[in-house]
Amino acid sequence: MKLPIILASLITAAGSALGVQSYTPLWIPPTLTEPTFNLNLHVTNKYYLPGSNTITYAYNDGDFWGPTLIMTNGDNVQINLTNNLPDTTTTHWHGLHIPAIMDGGPHETIPKGTTWSPTFTVLNRASTYWYHPHLHTLTQNHLGHGAGGFIIVKDAQEAALPLPRTYGVDDVPLVLTSRRFYTTAAQLNQFNVTNGATGCSYGDYEMVNGVMNFGTTNVQVILPRQYVRLRILNAEIERVYNLGFSNNLTFYQIGTDGGLVNAPVPLTRLVLAPGERAEILLNLSTNAVGSAVNLMAFNSTASLGTQLAFAFPGQETGTTGQFGSLLNNINFQILHIVVTNATTNPILALPTVLCTNSFLTSANVTKTRTITLSGGQPPSGVFVFDSSPFSIHVVNQYVSLNAVEQWTIVNSSIFSHAFHIHDVEFTPLSRTGSSSVITGIQAYEQGWKDTIYIQQNSTVSFLAKFDNFASPYNPFMYHCHMIDHEDEGTMAQFVVQNTNTADLYITSCTRTGTNQSVSLNFKATPGTTYQLLFSTNFTTGSWNPVATVTSDGTSVNYLETNASRLTLSRGFYRINEPTNNY
């Protein structure tokens, strides 16, 4: 795929003085199908600008991004993910409802040169999800280099609908992001994916599926003269998009983050914050063959007051520095769409009904909790939840299995954010705020969500059911999906507990010195004997007994002295509780 990009860049260089517009073809990620997915995360490079190639990260054999994983609701899948990056990493299955130990958050680390093999049952509705690295403090670096990919889940309900679903033809995934390049000789043409004062929160050049708009060269896709489906993901660092089409063309939203909406929603604008996805139908059936329409970001000041509100990420007017960008506070083209002949069996009519969702209501709520997002001021400039910076050793919220909770997120910080929660999909309930806030749940947000835009000086409430998976010692995360904020510590964690079982979990694990000893402490029933097991891989069934321990009060202490286990770079302990304790 490098040759067309090189040619397009050369054409631009030769013809830019004459105002000649040239186009680079949109790259469509290849697909992998279940039940087993083999992914290799590695370092590669890609030609973007004359001179040095740009170092990028990709899954499998691409030069940016990774293959689209096709899954089916109800099926059992296994993913074998080999990390060939120079760093430890993780990969999070964003939006999937799976056990915490399979979730791929900051705890499920994959050291370089090793393979992680999570297995799980696909419980999600048909929709567009995605995967990406999630290692604390390195998420911006790894995702910023291009590591990510789509997940498409299918189910019987969606399959029965007359919708476009020929992948890459009338059903097209679009990942939107942008990048800034270093211009110094030592780092010429390399991505600036650092955080802080020397980094950048916004890229200067728009990218679609890793293909870049630059100068008079824009990304182009050829789509058939019929209804087409676009699966759009905002994978930006911070920028929020106010999406629409040239000539204010009406399009129809058919899905949110977590599934189909009840009926197509007619829109001329759609706001997507980092981490959010939307599926839309675009009617090209009345367009002449050879005609064109552009997907646009309407992010100029004229749009901010009506759709995006005060402190909108990308509103800043500067073009340089940490918060500057050549794309800030302007309307700009994202994708040039050219119409071609219809396919053999085109979709020419808009479905009137898509599904009948049973959304959660306030009557279902068993517990409410309020979380405050604050900070951003000097000297630290860090945004935090409930005045506490992130600690991987602290559980911030304890949730009961099968609870239906109302979470209220109060944003009293100096900026807007994209709030994302792992494990569950939620029903947006309300948005309130000051006079500068666009209040209410918007038409494009009225469906199952896992990420939502929270403006400065606003409060957003949602409802979620925490079902199926409980583990008192494996946390899920909630965080701002602006990945520089996440790396700085705008993140917290919760565990889901099964309150109908005994309270048994490891409360502390301390490794002292270099391969000297490991000390474990866990809550226990007085007088009860437990079996302690060990494994080098949490996701396999190969657990070996190492000791039996008996509680002498309310807890048990175990000191590991086995030399072979102490020399390992990582290991996992598990407790087996006698069945007669229940």
List pLDDT tens digits, range 128-184: 999 999 999 999 999 999 999 999 999 999 999 999 999 999 999 999 999 999 999
Residue 211: CB atoms within 10 Å: 26
The span from the CA of 38 to the CA of 293, in Å, is 37
Choice among 7-11, 391-395, 508-512, 541-545 with the minimum mean pLDDT: 7-11
- pLDDT at residue 451 greater than cutoff 80: yes
Q: What average pLDDT does range 21-29 have in this prediction?
A: 95
Residues 6+ apart with CB under 8 A from 528: 550, 551, 577, 578, 581
Beta-strand runs (E) in 73-214? 76-84, 92-94, 115-116, 119-121, 127-132, 149-154, 171-179, 205-208, 211-212
The span from the CA of 77 to the CA of 261, in Å, is 26
Choice among 35-49, 113-127, 190-204, 219-233 with the minimum mean pLDDT: 190-204
Choice among 395-399, 463-467, 519-523 with the minimum mean pLDDT: 519-523
List pLDDT tens digits, range 286-323: 999 999 999 999 998 766 555 555 568 888 888 999 99
Fold observed for domain 362-497? Immunoglobulin-like (2.60.40)
Encoding tokens for residue 109? 């680390």
Mean pLDDT score of the chain: 89
Encoding tokens for residue 558? 């175990």
552 vs 17, which has greater pLDDT?
552
Q: pTM of the full predicted structure?
A: 0.85
Helix (H) or strand (E) holding 485: helix 483-488
pLDDT of residue 561: 81
Helix, strand or coil, per DSSP, at residue 274: coil
List pLDDT tens digits, range 330-348: 999 999 999 999 999 999 9
The span from the CA of 121 to the CA of 258, in Å, is 16
Per the CB < 8 A criterion, the answer to whether 362 and 406 are in contact is: yes
CA angle 269, 444, 399 (to 5 degrees): 145
Helix, strand or coil, per DSSP, at residue 579: helix
The rounded radius of gyration (Å) of the Cα atoms in the chain is: 25
Residue 341: CB atoms within 10 Å: 9
The span from the CA of 144 to the CA of 369, in Å, is 33
The span from the CA of 277 to the CA of 153, in Å, is 13
pLDDT of residue 309: 59
- pLDDT at residue 558 greater than cutoff 90: no
Q: What average pLDDT does range 86-92 have in this prediction?
A: 96
pLDDT of residue 534: 84
- pLDDT at residue 16 greater than cutoff 60: no
Quick one: what percent of the chain has pLDDT higher than 90?
73
Per the CB < 8 A criterion, the answer to whether 73 and 154 are in contact is: yes
Per the CB < 8 A criterion, the answer to whether 158 and 124 are in contact is: no
Encoding tokens for residue 235? 């994978």
pLDDT of residue 525: 60
The span from the CA of 332 to the CA of 532, in Å, is 59
The span from the CA of 221 to the CA of 337, in Å, is 5
Q: Per-residue confidence at 262, pLDDT binned at 50, 70, 90?
A: very high
Please choose, from the candidates 228, 198, 235, the residue with its C-alpha nearest in 3D space to the C-alpha of residue 94.
235
List pLDDT tens digits, range 519-529: 766 666 666 67
> Domain 506-581 has what CATH class?
mainly beta
Q: Per-residue confidence at 551, pLDDT binned at 50, 70, 90?
A: low
Encoding tokens for residue 485? 């904020």
Q: What average pLDDT does range 52-77 have in this prediction?
A: 96
The ranges of the chain annotated as CATH 2.60.40.420 are: 362-497
